Amino acid sequence: MANLIIFSLISKIFSAFKEVSGIIGYNMKLIFLIISNVVYTIVFNLFKSEKGRELVLQLFDSADVVVENFRPGAMESWGLGPDVAKKRNPGLIYARISGYGQTGPYSEKPGYASVTEGFGGFRYINGEPGKAPVRPNISLGDTVSAIHAALGVTLAIIAREKSGEGQVVDVALYESIFNLMEGIVPEYDGGGVVREPSGTTITGIVPTNTYPCRDGKFVVIGGNGDSIFKRLMIAAGRPDMSENPEMKDNSGRLKHEDEIDEALGEWCKTLLAKEVIDILEEARVPVGPIYSVEDMMEDPHYQARGMFERVEIDGKPLQIPAIMPLLEETPGRTDWPGGDIGSHNKEILGGLLDLSEEDMDKLRSEGVIG
């Protein structure tokens, strides 16, 4: 994912894989192809082949950026760590993504996104009070860490423009999640307050919640600005609340949170979701639907913004997410979906390392490349 974010906008890239047993299941294949689009894939046996490791080092010599996500110490054990790489290519930027970072007492622990989302504090504050913490149905920790890696690499590139030197970008999954935790640290350190899960609301801001409508759909309403709150309650048929002096600011509304939510909930239940949205948009109140992927793909705004691109996989058309963010002068694009693992061995090894067909056949027979 970090490779896709970093390079789909700026250059050709390749990914070197260790030996793998294959992609299991159609959905996993789609995920791999999507996150590997615009990436050239090559395969080396890093575990058993010294020649394979030497070829990787040769690729490092001409690389701008290396991204790896093995457990800390693995690359060093193969002679591929940043100290070795930097001697050969001083300008190399070496991004490392792991569960707990390259240093510290937990650095050697295995760290999947699911585990580090808990360790980073995210799972604690999500869900209903008194119930098991809730996981979003995506690998949020992986994606957020990829964004942090892309940002770190970007900053390192800017620094290299001044110094000429590369550097290590050390990204930990749990730290990327921790970086989303907003005010929980000063709340605790300054006031002794531990932020708890709050269901569909957010602690300390009223009203902002999710409400069911007559058609079984849900809407999100954010009416926590003082003037917005007045417009919201008038639109919802509760002018008494809009003029209530005890609800004129957020500190007062906090004391009446249940009362306000009940009033909005009862109003929403009498209307279709679209009706709620139309009424509140007319009143200039922030409101929106809860979208499924089907809703997204049918929405004209998504279409107008070009949020989907069409590729061909196994001879069939497939829509995938477009490259974001949108750059006005140099937008990203998907030229092709990701290929099978090792499908670009010939192009990369022949083009960058000048290996002949004979050389590659020999390496393949020796188990050096896949």
Cis amide linkage into residue 197, ω under 30° from 0: no
CA dihedral 75, 78, 81, 84 (to 10 degrees): -170
Count other Cβ atoms within 10 Å, centred on residue 280.
23
- Could you tell me the CA-to-CA distances from 314 to 36, 79, 174, 311 in Å, in that order? 15, 38, 37, 10
**Interatomic CA distance for residues 238 and 267, integer angstroms:** 9
Catalytic option among 64, 142, 299, 335: 142
Q: Which helix (H) or strand (E) holds 141?
A: helix 140-163
DSSP code, position 236: T
**Interatomic CA distance for residues 146 and 67, integer angstroms:** 10
142 is catalytic: yes
Which residues, at least 6 apart from 102, have a Cβ–Cβ distance to it below 8 Å? Answer: 72, 96, 168, 170
Cis amide linkage into residue 207, ω under 30° from 0: yes
**Interatomic CA distance for residues 136 and 123, integer angstroms:** 9
Residue 287 structure tokens:
């409101």
With beta carbons less than 8 A apart as the criterion, state whether 329 and 9 touch: no
Count other Cβ atoms within 10 Å, centred on residue 29.
16
DSSP assignments along 10-51, one per residue: T--EEEEE-------SHHHHHHHHHHTTTEEEEEB-TTT-HH
Name the residues annotated as catalytic: 142
